Every structure is written in structure tokens, then in C-alpha cells.
Structure 1
Amino acid sequence: MQTQLIKLVRDIYSTHEFIPLHAPTFAGNEQAYLAETITSTFVSSVGKFVDEFEQKIESFTKTTRAVATVNGTAALHAALHLADIKASDLVLTQALTFVATCNALHHLGAQPVFIDIEPNAFGLCPKAASNWLAENAELDDQGQCRHKASGAAIKALLPMHTFGHPVQLDELLTLCQAWNLSLIEDAAESLGSYYKGQHTGTLGRFGVLSFNGNKVITTGGGGMLLCREAEEGVRAKHVTTTAKVPHAYEFFHDEPGFNYRMPNLNAALGCAQMEQLEALLANKRKIAERYESLFATTDYRFVKEPDYAQSNYWLNAVLCPDLDTRNALLKETNAQGIMTRPVWQLMHRLPMFANALRGDLTQSEIAEARLVNLPSSPAL
């Protein structure tokens, strides 16, 4: 299988040079917009491209309000703050995720509760979350969900759309309604992914996008906070702009805030990238189809979009038959100059989250031992 995969990847990218996991594509107005920004001298967090980029994301995702931030972690930190997540609160999330999901909780002093993934889309499993809540949680007289053993407030569900594949949002929303929880979508990897026709990050109370250099489109560094309610969008922009009250010349801040606004330079890059987004997504889908065809009659399982969703195929992934096969695939492809990567180590294996509460993580452990990410650059 290693030989066939290496041949396919080199054919897709038409090169015998090193092939990265996911490189950015700059094929439009990036240089022109960056030059315009420099000429204008508005290179920091005020400038026309910041407003334009927010509007483009609002239009594309059909969210009520989009607020640009310096990176996805900052957007998630702000979202959790706006959802009233405080020190010692509990938030149900995935053990199989990128560390930024849990770092944002840590910054607030909140604690993750690690729930297993669903084995098809590799996102937070509604059944596993429901079982954990039924066994470990209760509603107090005020309707607050609490952990039975400690009394700690359980405030939110925080699923991540792994590799761009949408989680089962209807079931998670039903669970949130039953237990009085906020749904906050870590949609960092899923720009261009849809759940039953609705863009990811727009069904929960808040959603978060990332525009890191390895995402579908990039602003170099950058994120976006998606707000379902207009009022929360106004407050999100206020809080991420140091909570400064507008005034012609006075400086007055009415609450603790964050200096999280995206610079105009980054937004200029994002505006140029948005002009190419549909073409990038189309190319990523074609690449995914070629991988799917390669693995179709093998004992490897290519990770496909779930039936209820349209995925952006941010990172293509294959589930190997076992750990030894995974290790052999990683070793040979990397030795041949083709970057492949295992999935992240599960969060409870990291020292700072080793003592976190968790449920059974069987499916997460299977993915950790057998998943391999494959080169996924759009390659226009």
C-alpha cells in the first residue's frame, strides 16, 4: 500500500520534491491587497480589510455576526468567556482534538471532561455524552447542570469538527436543551463544511474558525468568532477590542477585555483568499475522491464525509488496520519525502490534562493508534 500511496500523491501534486501535509495556495490578489494595506499605513487592527473580511465570512457562512481575531484560540477563548464559562466550571469536549481546544478552557480556569468520539466523523459522540451526563450529572433547583460528585457547574458542550467533518449537531443540540448547556462549535478546521445544508459554526451559540497557515484559506495567523445572536456579536466585538467605549478622544473601558482584533494586514490576505475559496474546496474534494478510490478495495478505511453532511476535507485521513501498519505507513511515506502524520495524542495523555474527568474513550484510542493524515493541499 505504501508504494501505491506514494505514487498517487506524487501524481496529484506533480512533483518529485518534498510534499507537505497542507500548504497554503496564493494564486490571486494576495500581493496586491497586502501592498495596498502597506501604502495606506493601516496595518494594525483598524482598516477596511478587517471589515470586509468579516462581511465576506458572514455572507459565506450565513452567520448573524462574524468577529475577526488574531487566531482561532483567541476566538475560542472569547467565545467561552461570552458563554459565562468561569474558573472550576466543567465543559464536555473531545479527548481527540488539537490542544488549542483545551488550552482555551485552561486559560479561563475551566476543566475539560473528555468524551469519546463517534467512529465515522471522529467528532464528539452524542450517545457517549448523553451516557456520561445521565450517570454523572443532575440539574439543581435553578436548572443549573452540576457534576454530582463535586457540585461543579457543567456549562457547555464543545465539539470539534475533526478534519472538517461535521459532528451530529441535532443530537448535541437536543442534549444541550435537556441539560441547559451552551453549544460552542470548534469549527477551526471546517470552513466550507455543512451540516444538513447549514455551515458549521452557525448552529451553536458560538462557533470558531481558524485561518492558520495550514487551513483551507489562511490569513497567516487569524481566527473568526461566529455569533448566532446579533446582540452577542456586538458584545463579542466590544470585548475583543479591549472593551473600549467609542469616543472621539477619551479612553474608557467598561469591563475587562481582550486585545484580540485581527490586524488589517492579515485581513487583506484573507480577503484575497476568500475570492478563491470555492475553487480550493472543489479541488480538495477531487483529491479526496482519488484517495477514496485508492483505498476502496483494501483493508484501510478512508475517512469520508458523513451522510448528513458536506465536508471540506481539510485533512484527508485513513484508518489503518492496526498500529504496526500505521507505523509502517508513516515511516515509509516520510522517508520518501511525503509528509504524513498520526492524529494528535489524546488530551488526557498530556500532563496538564492528565487528571481531567473522562468517560470511556475506546473509539478515541482506536483512532489514536490507527489514523494517518495524508497530504491535503488544494494544489490549484
Structure 2
Amino acid sequence: MISLAIPNLNGNEKKYLDNCIDTTFVSSVGEYVNEFEKMVAESTGSIGAVATSSGTTGLHSALTSVGVKHGELVIIPTFTFIASANAIRHCGADPWLMDISEEDWCLNPVLVRSEIEKHCEKRADGILYHKENGKRVAALMPVYTLGNVPDMEAFRKIADDYGIPLVVDAACAIGATYDGKKFGSLADLSVLSFNGNKTITCGGGGAVVGCDQDRLDHVRHITTTARVWPDYDFDEVGFNYRMTNVQAAIGVAQMERLDSFIDAKRRARAYYEEKLESWAQDKGITFFPTTDGSSCWFSGIVLPEGAHLEDAKRVCAKLKESEIEARSFWKPVHLQKPYADCPKSDVSIAESLWQRIITLPCSTNITEAELKKVTDSVIEILN
């Protein structure tokens, strides 16, 4: 089976894991946690990083740190993995779901500003509230879909104009750039994931990055149970969200090969587009969008307008018969049962798009022979 996206563990992972066992530093304290945080900060152009137990706990911590509370709203795209919404709900808040841009599959900043102007008001206290439900708009959280970085200048202006924090779900975006620069300074806080299918994996885990030391210090404080050392004193409700030294050991070995991993992801994207482009045009099939500097986390194709989820699933099933793993992609949050009643904008782009997406194999160790087998099979099946 040519897998969709599997970890590439051919570096120093085993050596560093053996060191964790030999030294007995397997929990949340150890040299690899510190080193991993340094490497992640440097790779994102941030002044620091706080390693967490998952991307979701990183998002929960970041949102908590910027003041998101029970009964409030956080603006996110409906086209995202459900963890984005879950982290908001873990704060006791609700997502305000908005549509994406066709150009990058990320939250549409023009739509966000329009929806705020239409549905919100600044009251005497200077705080932005949703007029219909009376809830405070507590944060704006774009998602770097597929490692694409959208127009962050526009999002920064929206956040500043309305006095709301800007947090980014950058789960799959490690290695991405924006206007030739690393993304760590673009938002108040950005959050990465190191789940098993990410370009860099720790087997699990996440990290919160940014360029405001006070914010990062607060995230570190609340993710380590909000303990005031050296005694057992705690000054707020905290979380045990720390990454273990074992996870970080894998992460350090992975980060040592970050550049080659990103190159491999981009090569897979380029291969599919080059080999399938002329054939795809005749079929009305398109490819995943790519912004300048995208980390190209996943690659694949988009079936023509009018196709449905069952069509995509049939193609995936046929590919599986050829020992090729392919899958459909995110079902929008507004169609998920826990969030069906949340406020939302017009979401017609996300609704048209999601059923037609097919992700294709793009592991960082995929071979050219495997890529050729995938493209040949796609052409044969869809013909």
C-alpha cells in the first residue's frame, strides 16, 4: 500500500529515544523538550515556543491566554479540521463560522470584515459584540489550510481595527513562509500540530509560537498547571498540557530534516500537477491551491463542479484496489452535529468544495516510482 502520509523515521529518532530511556528523562522535563522548542521557534521566526501535548491543547491554551471565555465568539473558517472548533468550545465559547476564499481555501478576510460590519457593534465599553446574540467577539482565528498562509496583513488590520486578538491555527504549516518571511510574527500567537500525519511529527504534540514574550510566558504558565514555584501554589486554573521528553526526542530528530521534508512535500505537489495537468483540464479537474511559500502539507485533486462525496469515495475505493491510499477531506464545521446551531456566514464555497476533494499520497519518503503509479492509476480510474 502506498500510504497517504506516514512518518519518516529514518533519522536519529531511535538514538534519541534510547537516550531518554538511558537517562530516565521520559516525562515533561528533559533536554529534548528545550531543544525542540528552540528549533520550532527558529523555524517559525518566533522569539520562543511552548511545546504542548497536542495541537488542540495548544489552541485551547492560546485562546485561553488571549482571554477567550465562556459565552463568547471566535471567528474561524467553517472549512477546517474540527479541532479548531473544539478548542474554542473547550474555552466555553462558540465558533462564528465563515466561508473561505477559492484562491487559497483559507478564511476570507473581505467576508470577515463585511460580516463584522453587518452583525456587530462596539458598545460604550469599546468591546465588539454580536448584535443578534449579544456575545463578545473574543478572537479572530484564521487557519493556514494545507500550509497556505493567507493575506495576514488584512487579518492584522481587522484585528487591530476592532480590538480583537489574532490567533492562528497553523497546525500543518511548519516550513511555510509569507512574503518570503517566516510566519511567527504575523499573529499574536500561532499554534502548530505534530500529529502522526504532519510533515514533522512527535507521534503527537503541538507548540504555541509568537513574538510577544509576555504572552508566551503566560501560555507556558497555564500549560504547566499554573504553578507558582517552588511550593504547591497555583494562581489560576491551569492545564497539564506539557509535551513529554519522549515526544520531543522524536521531534528533534524530525526537525533536523525539516528542509528536506518540506522539499519532498513540494516535489510531490509539483509532480502531480505536472503529470496530470493537461489531462485534468479536459476533465474539469483541478488541484489544491498553493500560495507563495506554502508548506504543501497535502496534495491531491478536486473533482469537477457537480460531483459529490460519493463520487470521491468511489475514486478512493478504486485507488485502494490498486494499493493506493486516498481519502476525502474535511467536512465543514457547520455540518458537524456539535456546531450545527453556531452563527455562520454564507458558506457556499466550502459547501461546494469539500465533497469533491481527494487527497493523494504525499509522504516525505514517497518515491518517484510510487508517484508515477498514483498518477497512472488516477488517470485510468477517472477515464
Tell me, yes or no, whether TM beats 0.5: yes
In structure 2, how many angstroms separate the alpha carbons of the residues matched to 1:224 and 1:80? 13
**1:85-129 deviation per Cα after TM superposition (whole angstroms, max 9, x unaligned):** 001111110111101000001111101111000112101001111
Deviation, structure 1 residue 335? 2.8
Is 1:266 the equivalent of 2:247? yes
User: How does 1:345-360 map onto structure 2 within 5 Å?
Assistant: 345-360=331-346
Aligned counterpart in structure 1 of residue 325 of structure 2, from 339, 347, 351? 339
In structure 2, how many angstroms separate the alpha carbons of the residues matched to 1:87 and 1:195? 33
- Counterpart in the other structure of 2:237: 256
In structure 2, how many angstroms separate the alpha carbons of the residues matched to 1:33 and 1:270? 10
Deviation, structure 1 residue 328? 4.1
Structure 1 unaligned residues grouped into runs of 5+: 1-17
Range with bigger deviation, 322-331 or 34-43:
322-331
Aligned counterpart in structure 1 of residue 287 of structure 2, from 302, 307, 318? 302
Q: What SS is found at the alignment partner of 1:331?
A: helix
**1:203-234 deviation per Cα after TM superposition (whole angstroms, max 9, x unaligned):** 11110000001000110110001132011111
- Counterpart in the other structure of 1:162: 145
Q: What SS is found at the alignment partner of 1:28?
A: coil
- Counterpart in the other structure of 2:166: 183
User: How does 1:24-63 map onto structure 2 within 5 Å?
Assistant: 24-63=7-46
Deviation, structure 1 residue 145? 0.8
In structure 2, how many angstroms separate the alpha carbons of the residues matched to 1:74 and 1:202? 21
User: How does 1:203-352 map onto structure 2 within 5 Å?
Assistant: 203-247=186-230, 250-297=231-278, 298=280, 299-306=284-291, 309-322=292-305, 323=307, 326-352=312-338
Structure 2 length as normaliser, TM-score? 0.91
In structure 2, how many angstroms separate the alpha carbons of the residues matched to 1:201 and 1:120? 23
Contact 2:313/2:327, CA 8 A, preserved across alignment: no
- Counterpart in the other structure of 1:90: 73
Deviation, structure 1 residue 351? 1.1
Aligned counterpart in structure 2 of residue 133 of structure 1, from 98, 103, 116? 116
Structure 1 length as normaliser, TM-score? 0.92
Letter in 1 for 2:173: S
Q: What SS is found at the alignment partner of 2:50?
A: strand
In structure 2, how many angstroms separate the alpha carbons of the residues matched to 1:344 and 1:252? 42
Q: What percentage of aligned pairs have identical amino acids? A: 34
**1:54-98 deviation per Cα after TM superposition (whole angstroms, max 9, x unaligned):** 011111112022000000000000000001000111111011110
Deviation, structure 1 residue 202? 3.4
Range with bigger deviation, 277-286 or 335-344:
335-344
In structure 1, how many angstroms separate the alpha carbons of the residues matched to 2:320 and 2:69? 43
**1:169-194 deviation per Cα after TM superposition (whole angstroms, max 9, x unaligned):** 11111111121111110000111111
Deviation, structure 1 residue 320? 1.3
Deviation, structure 1 residue 48? 0.7
Q: What SS is found at the alignment partner of 1:270?
A: helix
Structure 2 unaligned residues grouped into runs of 5+: 367-383
In structure 2, how many angstroms separate the alpha carbons of the residues matched to 1:236 and 1:227? 11
Letter in 2 for 1:355: D
Contact 2:45/2:184, CA 8 A, preserved across alignment: no
User: How does 1:55-134 map onto structure 2 within 5 Å?
Assistant: 55-134=38-117
In structure 1, how many angstroms separate the alpha carbons of the residues matched to 2:176 and 2:363? 16
Deviation, structure 1 residue 27? 1.5
Is 1:200 the equivalent of 2:186? no
Contact 1:185/1:201, CA 8 A, preserved across alignment: no
Deviation, structure 1 residue 262? 0.4
Contact 1:206/1:227, CA 8 A, preserved across alignment: yes
**1:140-172 deviation per Cα after TM superposition (whole angstroms, max 9, x unaligned):** 122211101122100111111111111221111
In structure 2, how many angstroms separate the alpha carbons of the residues matched to 1:28 and 1:35? 13
Deviation, structure 1 residue 278? 0.6
Aligned counterpart in structure 1 of residue 135 of structure 2, from 152, 159, 162? 152
Deviation, structure 1 residue 330? 2.4
Contact 2:189/2:208, CA 8 A, preserved across alignment: yes
Count residues in correspondence: 359
